[in-house]
Amino acid sequence: MDIKKTFIKVFNSKDTIFGRSDARESKSISGGLANYNKSFISLVSKALEYLGNTEGNSLCDAIKNCTPDIDIITSFELQNNTYNLGDFKDQVLRIRNIGDDPTKGLITVFMSDIAGFTITFDQTQTTASVVLGSKDVNNNDWIAIPMVGGIAYQSIVSIPGNGESKIGIITEATQAGVSSTMEIIIQNGSGGETNYTNNSDTKLLSVSA
C-alpha cells in the first residue's frame, strides 16, 4: 500500500478527530488542541501499526470503509501464434495483481476452448519457452478443472501487491487452415478484487493450410 495513501486514509478516518465533521468547530482552544494532539497520536499509532504488520491488513481492519487495493489483470506471453499442423507450442497466462495489497482467497481464471487446438496443463511444469526465452511458471500453485466450453484454473496462493503468477500451458494444432481466438477471463471478485473492467484478454492463433 502506498504510504501517502495510508496517511490520507487514516487522516480522514472517523476514528480520529481529523475525519469528523465537527473537527474544526471546537469552541475551546485548549480542549481543541488536546483533542488534536490525541488524534495525531492515534494517526501515528495506526500508521506505525500498518508499517509493522507484514501482512499489511491491520490498517484496513482498523479503519472503517477501507478497501484493500487489489486489482487482478491478465495477459499472455506467447511462444508464437502461427502454427503448422501438429505443432506443439508453450503459451503462458499471466495473472497479475497491479494493486498494492496481496490477494485474499480463491482466484479463478477461465480459459475458453480453442477451435482447432488442444490444451494441456501439467501441474509439475516449472518453465515455459516463449518468444523472449524461458520463463518460470507457477503451475504447482494452480489446479485445472475441465468445464463446458473450457478450463477453469484455480488457486488459493496469494499474489503479492504488484506481483504475478504464471500458468504455463501447451497448445497443439490439430486442424489445418483455422484461425481461433484464445481468451482468458478472470472471475469477478477473485482474490478480493473489486475492479472488474480489466478482467479479460484475447489472442488470435492460426494454423497454416
Per-residue pLDDT of the chain (209 residues; tens, 9 = 90+): 555 555 555 555 554 444 444 444 434 444 444 454 555 556 655 555 555 444 445 555 555 456 789 999 999 999 989 999 999 999 999 999 999 999 999 999 999 999 999 999 999 999 999 988 899 999 999 999 999 999 999 999 999 999 999 999 999 999 999 999 999 999 999 999 999 999 999 999 999 98
This prediction has a pTM of 0.70
Q: How many residues does the chain have?
A: 209
Output the nine-digit C-alpha cell for 104: 485474499
Q: How far apart are CA 72 and CA 95, in angstroms?
A: 7
3-class state of residue 191 by DSSP:
helix
Which CATH topology does 72-207 take?
Immunoglobulin-like (2.60.40)
Segments of the chain assigned to CATH 2.60.40.10: 72-207
H or E element, residue 8: helix 3-11
Place of cell 504464471: 166
